[in-house]
Amino acid sequence: MRIDKYLHDQQLGTRSQIHELIKQRRVTLNEQPVKSFKQGVDPLQDRVIVDGQVLGHQTEFYYLMNKPMGVITATTDLSQTTVMDLLSKDDFRSDLFPVGRLDKDTTGALLITNDGQLAHQLVSPKTHVAKTYEAHVTGTLSNDQIQVLQDGIELKNGDHVKADSASIVGQSGHETNVKLQLHQGKYHQIKRMFGALGQRVVQLHRAEFAGLGVTDLSDGNYRALTDKEIELLKNKTSAD
């Protein structure tokens, strides 16, 4: 692995910032100043020091993406753009994968990681992490209909689904904007819930996943999670 790629994985800055660190001789490899950002490093064997601090080897990575419309939630696809295609060359790793699934026409918060254990716990029915959605649906819905979403609906296949909370946030013409929070994760759950009310979801956005929101991210952008956010995610799953 190149030293600049390794330092970028350690979240020490952008590639250009890391190159500047190396130019200023602030990075040493096995007690020798690094002179080229192309220099090779073995994170498991070599000793890397930046400004006097010994670096550990980061093996797990966590990114929060604001998934745009028209992109599929998959690791690879021969004909369609996937969420993995939106990662930069510096951040892409072959072991990264999206946690859970958002439909091609659904936007919003999507976690991407290579931490398989955490990913499994986050989507496990036993854990039930909270997810917040903003749904733009057909029809002028009433408060009584919104209450039905919270009381629970039995779908045609026998699934019993419900929202933890639901509220109307706006109405225009013959369409309604609804905010929902739920822990369940049934297939096409929100679309099927509104379908049971005789309406259709026009647009669906996941505003938050397990407490992580994407208001600071434009469509298609992503960021690395902070250490505090990673700790909070792990605490959510261990607590349940």
Q: How many angstroms separate the most distant Cα atoms in the chain?
A: 71
Strand partners, 109: 66
> Tell me: domain 131-209, CATH 3.30.2350.10, correct?
yes
Question: Which of the following CATH numbers is that of domain 3-54: 3.30.450.20, 3.10.290.10, 3.20.20.140, 3.40.190.10?
Answer: 3.10.290.10
pLDDT attached to residue 125: 79
d(CA 74, CA 101): 8
Class assignment of domain 62-126+211-239? Answer: alpha beta
Tokens standing for 191?
A: 């679309």
Q: At what angle do helices 227-239 and 116-123 cross, to 10 degrees?
A: 50
- Give the CA angle between residues 163, 125, 153 to the nearest 5°: 30
User: What pLDDT, in 10s, does the model give residues 39-65?
Assistant: 999 887 899 999 988 887 778 899 999
Q: Domain limits of the chain?
A: 3-54, 62-126+211-239, 131-209
> Looking at the predicted structure, is the pLDDT value of residue 26 above 90?
yes
pLDDT attached to residue 239: 54
The answer to whether 103 is a known catalytic residue is yes
Q: What percent of the chain has pLDDT over 70?
A: 99
Sheet holding 32-33, edge to edge: 32-33, 27-29, 48-50, 53-54
pLDDT attached to residue 238: 65
Pairing of the two strands 62-67 and 48-50: unpaired
User: What pLDDT, in 10s, does the model give residues 159-216?
Assistant: 999 999 999 999 998 999 999 999 988 889 999 999 999 999 999 999 999 999 999 9
Nearest CA among 200, 205, 160 for reference residue 184: 160
CA 214 vs. chain centroid, Å, equals 9
Q: How many CA atoms lie within 13 A of 105 on its CB side?
A: 8
The catalytically annotated residue of 103, 105, 159, 164 is 103
pTM higher than the cut 0.95 = no
